[in-house]
Structure 1
């Protein structure tokens, strides 16, 4: 599901910063911290933050996208290029 969220953000013109917690020696501590922030078990990843605010996991991101609410959230973080330089 992490891949799906990354692809979606790239399609929206956003280059996300990705932290692969499963490759970190502190993976258990990071998972606990994410749960304390409100990520629900069993799937705490991907934990998507936009502008430093926890949005949620894949289900929450997809729900925001389908409702049309995701684009306004990511607009300030879009990379300007020919294809996505629109206002």
Structure 2
């Protein structure tokens, strides 16, 4: 749990993921398209990955525990919650403080 709190307190947008999870990949792509530049923490690459997964469950993540998305240190949820927020128009305002400013010349 300490590792989760540390990573989420130091970064605005964090996805706890597994390298083999296609839903984690899809959420990562969405957040990148929204210019949020999330930190992706691959729990299957961490020797303490099982403990992290158990801690995510205790924090309220559902099974499967990934992707687990945190914004501003708060658990937003998994794919369903992130997509619901996006479709309702609520996700972009949550991400606004963390969006990179990219300007395109037309």
> What is the SS of the residue equivalent to 1:19?
strand
Is the counterpart of residue 32 in structure 1 residue 54 in structure 2?
Answer: yes
| Structure 1 unaligned spans of 5+ | none
Q: C-alpha distance in 2, partners of 1:3/1:24?
A: 18
* RMSD between aligned residues: 0.7
Point out where structure 2 has 5 or more consecutive residues left out of the alignment: 1-22
Count of matched residue pairs: 82
Q: Provide the residue aligned with 1:66 in structure 2.
A: 87
Q: Please report the TM-score for the alignment, with normalisation by the length of structure 1.
A: 0.91
After TM superposition, which residue ranges in structure 1, 4 or more long, deviate above 3 angstroms?
none
1:27 Cα deviation (Å)? Answer: 1.1
Equivalent position of 1:78 in the other structure:
99
Among candidates 8, 15, 32, match of residue 10 of structure 1? 32
Higher strand fraction (1 or 2): 2
